[in-house]
Chain A
């Protein structure tokens, strides 16, 4: 069984934000919510690097461990999903997440924030709504996985920096790149998310 992961090759990311608008386009995410964003360090200085960040769909996801209503779960592909029917908008997941992924539609404390929203790896909601149905879309956005497609953010990445797919395959692609070009600053966030790095 495939284990789906994200990998951002920071030596290729140019902060073009294709991933951000592709996500908006595919999932019709409204203004103010960002399931994906690009973070730049050393902006304008030597050593400037950018990396695209969203829910990494962690192994033993910390958000799931802290959720008081256990609405967060991993599916068979390792994709971390949640039920908006159960979510009470408490915000605990946000504190637990190392990547700042959970988003809330309103500003305020606890329940008044509304149901948590985050990257679904373009895998819809995981039920009970039918995959690809408009009910599912309204709550969670697109279900590309059900159509055998990968998340649009990675598919549309301008420089093929953001990779999505089976963890072993994308790790292999990254390794080959690093060997060919002779440098690589590592797979950002992998140790935190998946408890492993990529040895080259």
Chain B
């Protein structure tokens, strides 16, 4: 059957070139290929001839007689962390080979990873700096660009202060660049520095860290091979993390594991599921409580685990009791019997893991969703052991690392926060005077208050200043961040126009360059890809991987490090900024930057991963086990691959890293751990420390608080500190050395001593089922701001309006107005957005990569056949999609498919270059326009922000679709 279909399609296609097939089957791939080849794409290609094989001037095969070097880097397209092996001859990247030795990808790639060579040498890259002069792009030199940008920044600083500039960084930075960029913002004097984690997993980090201590995936992709039950809720790893499926499917096959997918869409991942549950977008909490209702009712919970290691589960029971199967089905659409079945499997066929991605996080209730997921794991005892845990698949290749090293408006590197203690800690590491640092800021208050989240920058630009807790933004400096991935794009376009300066540093022009009607004061600077520099990146499983420079930056591109250095020099603080970092030919040393992170990253165990150890891992990948990630042999014997954080103590202490967080079955020195005692020792009289649970070999066989010098003294263990360590502790602590803790002790002595006694430095506490510090201590279901179920808003309203992060969040007012105006009648379809396998993020890079662009040539919207037929919409036909705010509209093709349920529509968010029906190709700099353009999903998306992180809401809003 399959063979026949293949025949039919390709014959027609290849012969006529128009794919005018008479097939009735609905196939996304056909649809895209058919629609693209015929018109837009080939027209767009223009100069590309269809010769048999492209001229191989800068490519394979290797020329005879010249050596071919092999270099290892890491794929830049997702958080799995696939090793890329590059063959380089004469400074040209001529081939990619599979990396069989990598325990993470074992030679494999997805379409993106298999095409990264083109990312580097792509013809549509931004090739030299350009500046917008009266609406025309004019080529400028690097020196002119830096001079012009620096002068303008200083002018704005003089007139409006340091807070008027926004520093938008990137999850594609190396750890070292991200750290440097955050440090740069601090030296500039602002906390307005953010990156894609805001719109990706900020709610995960907040939710998870507030539950059990650290904000990251607890286990690893590889560890899923040991799961007996996999529950994927709000994720589509077959498209977003394809190589992870190698591990997931192995688990499914070898263990005959249950593979459950809960999602509004029947995704490519769901195609491999043993159970698929369809839910209405934005009802995750109702569904999880619905599962827990069955678990508690049948006594499937793990009572011993809860008693020993969880605080507040009784309050959860009260909330869960409100969610009997009928109510769950009324709200979410998930049938009670199906949920009972799934709940039973999850609670009883162990180990079970819960996997999520942006389906849970990108909501106004994102943090609460994540918390509910954690609670499901805690109730069933499915965390802290192999095959279990919260396997949170991060998005970009270094979004975990960039978050860790503090490229975030709420904290300094490694989650130290913004309080004075945190600043003093980092000033010690940076070797700068705290008072000088303070003088860089507008005030101590601004220095200690979280900046503006990346989802709100244009509100901070456009709203009247009296509604803000800072001055209006006047300049944006954007390093490696798409212009299309933040919601409410019509307002972003106005925001861009209102800026006095826009600087975009990227490998391609990006949609920032074309979205607005700006005419002047706009610079595009060509950055090298990650393959054109070196450093480390942290994969989703917390493993750090060192990567080599494959080739020098091509065209006039420069490495991020160098661009930041040149900017700092122009702004006059390169001296203190690079005090401990060697700079050669304007290029700061990535090794030195990592060493500086090592010297300060105690709170998260970023201290043991020295460049030397990580390079040894790179060179000995073959020694690491594909399931446990532990080296069985060789110079890294005993280490976990990439020294997943926390890797406690100094590099010399040789901690192996922590493959599984909170695993009490191992000694801490072998990667064991416990829930972090982060929230105190008791709350309202209840004990917050673990009871009778402790890492193997612990000398304290019960819970204990975080280690400080005072705690060591109480235990008599301070005698184990060396004089050198003690001297450093006393220097750090000054008159109050007893208060120096495991996270501020720059000697690593406190960590070393506690671990040598079998104890984890961050304490052995209980996880919090009730997080009293959050707006919803117990997660409760709240309807999306724009909901199709206006009837449920009275019972499940969103939270009241409030001021968060220096800007107002008026979600409640917007929701109320939408209900009062009957918006759901005008816009009856629920709109959700997500990913395609061949593109990443805003698609800025992948739509400029010829091999990937060819695979996806048209923006489209998925619509259920029933909704399509009501509207007279044909598969492949043009439609107008209209949104509930800004009179927004977008023109794209319809893909009629039962993949989405009735009443739900779905769009990918990788497209840009068309805006509300207008082709913007002519606005790109000459020769740097992406191969493929399309409307952006976020033109249609609407207001709605998570109260904890100001995460946006692109997963559940409303729209209407009409045939065009």
Q: Could you tell me which A residues sit within 8 Å of B by CB distance?
A: 11-12, 14-22, 24-33, 37-46, 48-51, 53, 84, 91, 94-95, 98-100, 102-107, 114-115, 117, 132-134, 136-143, 152, 155-160, 177, 180-182, 188-189, 192
Instruction: Name the one of A50, A103, A142, A157 contacting B60, with C-beta atoms under 8 angstroms.
Output: A142
Distance (Å) between the CB of B309 and the closest chain A CB?
35
With A18-B108, A31-B850 already in contact, 14 other A-B pairs whose C-beta atoms are closer than 8 Å: A15-B29, A17-B838, A17-B855, A18-B111, A30-B50, A31-B50, A43-B25, A43-B26, A91-B15, A98-B7, A104-B14, A137-B53, A156-B114, A192-B3
Q: How would you classify the secondary structure of chain A's contact residues: helix, strand, loop or mixed?
A: loop
A50 to B29, CA, bound (A): 11
A12–B467 alpha-carbon span in the complex (Å):
54
B268: interface (CB < 8 Å): yes
B254 touches A31 (CB 8 A): no
**Which of these binds chain A: B174-182, B237-245, B583-591, B949-957?**
B237-245
What is the CA–CA distance of A134 and B245 in the complex, to the nearest angstrom? 37
B869 at the interface (CB under 8 A from A): no
Q: Which of B9, B48, B114, B242 contacts A22 (CB 8 A)?
A: B114
Residues of chain B with a CB closer than 8 A to A100's CB: 6-7, 9-11, 14
On whether the beta carbons of B48 and A30 are closer than 8 Å, the reply is: yes
Q: List 8 A-B contacts (CB under 8 A).
A: A18-B109, A24-B115, A30-B52, A43-B899, A45-B898, A94-B15, A138-B56, A159-B249
Docked-complex contact A114 and B52, CB < 8 angstroms = yes
Pair B11/A107 contact, Cβ less than 8 Å? no
Which A-B residue pairs are the 9 nearest by beta carbons?
A: A100-B10, A44-B899, A17-B111, A181-B253, A16-B242, A48-B271, A22-B114, A21-B115, A107-B17
CB pair A28–B52 under 8 Å, yes or no, is no
- Bound CA span A21–B856, Å: 12
Q: Do B899 and A25 touch (CB < 8 A)?
A: no
The answer to whether A156 and B107 touch across the interface, beta carbons within 8 angstroms, is: yes
Task: Tell me whether B3 and A18 are in contact (CB under 8 A).
Answer: no
In contact, B252 and A20 (Cβ under 8 angstroms): no
- State whether A107 touches B16 (Cβ < 8 A): yes
- Docked Cα-Cα span, A22 to B113, in Å, equals 9
A14, A42, A133, A136: the one contacting B272 at CB < 8 Å is A14
Give the nearest-CB partner of A48 in chain B.
Answer: B271
Least CB distance from B20 to A in Å reads: 13
B268 proximity list for chain A (CB < 8 A)? 14-15, 48
Q: When the two chains form their complex, are residues B107 and A155 in contact, meaning their CB atoms are under 8 A apart?
A: yes
Expressed in whole angstroms, the Cα–Cα distance for A32 and B48 within the complex equals 10
A-B pair number, CB within 8 angstroms: 225
Q: Contacts A18-B108, A33-B50 hold; do A25 and B1 have CB atoms under 8 A apart?
A: no
B 103-126 to A, binary, CB cutoff 8 A, 1 in contact else 0: 000011111111101100000000
Q: Which residues of A contact B29 (CB under 8 A)?
A: 15, 38-40, 43
B930 to chain A minimum Cβ distance, whole angstroms, is 14
- Any A CB within 8 A of the CB of B96: yes
Q: Which residues of A contact B851 (CB under 8 A)?
A: 20-21, 24-25
Find out whether the CB atom of A39 lies under 8 angstroms from the CB atom of B6.
Answer: yes
Closest to A84 in B: B52
Flag whether B777 is at the interface (Cβ < 8 A). no
> How far is the CB of A40 from the nearest CB of chain B, in Å?
6
Q: How far is the CA of A26 from the CA of B113 in the complex (A)?
A: 13
Q: Is the CB of B110 within 8 A of A139?
A: no
Residue of A nearest to B55 (CB): A138
Contact of A139 with B28 in the complex, beta carbons under 8 Å = no
Contact of A21 among B5, B28, B852, B899 (CB under 8 A): B852
- Which one of B5, B26, B249 contacts A12 once the chains associate, using CB atoms below 8 Å? B249
Q: A14-B242, A26-B95 are in contact. Are A156 and B16 (CB under 8 A)?
A: no
Known contacts being A43-B26, A53-B6, A180-B254, is A25 close to B245, with CB within 8 Å? no
- Residues from chain A with a CB closer than 8 A to the CB of B141 are none
Q: Contacts A51-B2, A152-B98; is A16 near B52 (CB within 8 Å)?
A: no
- Within residues 891 to 912 of chain B, which ones have a CB less than 8 A from any CB in chain A? 897-900
Among B2, B59, B61, B239, contact of A41 (Cβ-Cβ < 8 Å): B2
For the complex, give the distance between the alpha carbons of A41 and B49 in Å: 32
B6 & A99 in contact (Cβ 8 Å cutoff): yes
Q: Chain B 820-850 against A: per-residue CB contact (8 Å), 1 yes, 0 no?
A: 0000000000000000011000000000001
| Chain A hits for B60, CB < 8 A | 26, 28, 137, 142
Q: At the interface, yes or no: B854 with Cβ under 8 Å from chain A?
A: yes
With A21-B851, A115-B52, A158-B245 as known contacts, state yes or no: A40 contacts B108, CB within 8 Å. no
Q: Which residues from A are CB-within-8-Å of B117?
A: 25
Task: Tell me if B28 and A44 are in contact (CB < 8 A).
Answer: yes
The distance from the CB of B24 to the nearest CB of chain A, in whole angstroms, is 12
| CB-contacts of B86-109 with A (<8 A) | 95-96, 98, 107-109
B581 within 8 A of A: no
Shortest CB–CB separation between residue B875 and chain A, in angstroms? 11
Give every chain A residue within 8 A of B49 (Cβ-Cβ): 30
| Least distance between B18 CB and chain A CB atoms (Å) | 9
- How does the 8 Å CB contact mask read for B31-49 relative to A, with 1 for contact and 0 for none? 0000001000110010011
Question: Given contacts A25-B851, A26-B60, is CB(A14)–CB(B245) below 8 Å?
Answer: yes
Bound form: Cα–Cα A77–B269 in Å: 36
Minimum CB distance partner of A44 in chain B: B899
B246 within 8 A of A: yes
Which of chain B's residues have a CB closer than 8 A to the CB of A132?
61-62
A134 and B61 form a contact (CB under 8 A): yes
Query: In the complex the two chains form, what is the Cα distance from A83 to B897 in whole Å?
Result: 43
Chain A residues positioned under 8 Å from B684 (CB to CB): none
A22 / chain B contacts, CB cutoff of 8 Å: 96, 109, 114-115
CB distance from A24 to the nearest CB of B (A): 4
Report yes or no: B108 in contact with A181, Cβ–Cβ below 8 A.
Answer: no
| Chain A residues in 8 Å Cβ range of B113 | 18, 156
- When the two chains form their complex, are residues B98 and A156 in contact, meaning their CB atoms are under 8 A apart? yes
Task: Convert B394-433 into 0s and 1s, putting 1 for each residue whose CB lies closer than 8 angstroms to a CB of A.
Answer: 0000000000000000000000000000000000000000
CB closest residue in chain A, given B61: A137
Which chain B positions have C-beta within 8 A of A114?
52
A181 to B251, CA, bound (A): 10
Question: How many Å lie between the Cα of A149 and that of B849 in the bound state?
Answer: 26
Whether A44 contacts B53 by the Cβ 8 Å rule is no
**Given known contacts A17-B110, A18-B108, A26-B60, is B245 in contact with A31 (CB within 8 Å)?**
no
The 8 Å CB contact of B266, one of A26, A45, A134, A177, is A45
* One of A32, A140, A181 near B256 (C-beta < 8 A): A181
CB of B85, distance to nearest CB on chain A (Å): 11
With beta carbons under 8 angstroms apart, the residue of B242, B276, B855 that contacts A20 is: B855
Q: Which listed residue, B2, B45, B56, touches A31 by the CB 8 Å rule?
A: B45
| A182, closest chain B residue (CB) | B256
Does any Cβ of A come within 8 Å of B51's Cβ? Answer: yes
Specify which chain A residues have a CB less than 8 angstroms from the CB of B269 in the assembled complex: 14
Give the chain B neighbours of A155 by CB distance below 8 A: 98, 107
Measured in the bound complex, the distance between the Cα atoms of B107 and A12 in whole Å is: 16
Q: Which residues of A contact B109 (CB under 8 A)?
A: 18, 22, 156, 158
Which B residue sits closest to A51, measured CB to CB? B2
B27 at the interface (CB under 8 A from A): yes
Q: Could you give, for residues 224-268 of chain B, a 1 whenever the CB lies within 8 Å of some chain A CB and a 0 otherwise?
A: 000000000000001100110110010011101000000000101
Q: How far is the CA of A71 from the CA of B110 in the complex (A)?
A: 34
Q: Which residue in A14, A18, A28, A181 is a CB contact (below 8 Å) of B114?
A: A18
Set of chain B residues within 8 Å of A20, measured between Cβ atoms: 111, 851, 855
Most chain B CB within a 10 A radius of its CB, from A16, A133, A157: A16
Give CA–CA (A94, B15) in the complex, Å: 9
| Chain A residue contacts of B55, Cβ below 8 A | 138
Does the CB pair A159–B108 fall under 8 Å?
yes
Counting CB contacts under 8 A, is B795 at the interface?
A: no
Q: Which of B583-613 contact A (CB under 8 A)?
A: none
Flag if B7 contacts A138 (CB, 8 Å).
no
Q: Would A189 and B50 be within 8 Å (CB), given that A18-B108, A48-B271 are in contact?
A: no
Q: Which B residues touch A27, using CB under 8 A?
A: 53
Q: Which of A16, A24, A51, A189 contacts B238 (CB 8 A)?
A: A16
Closest chain B residue to A30, Cβ basis: B54
Which of A42, A106, A157, A192 has the most chain B CB within a 10 Å cutoff? A157
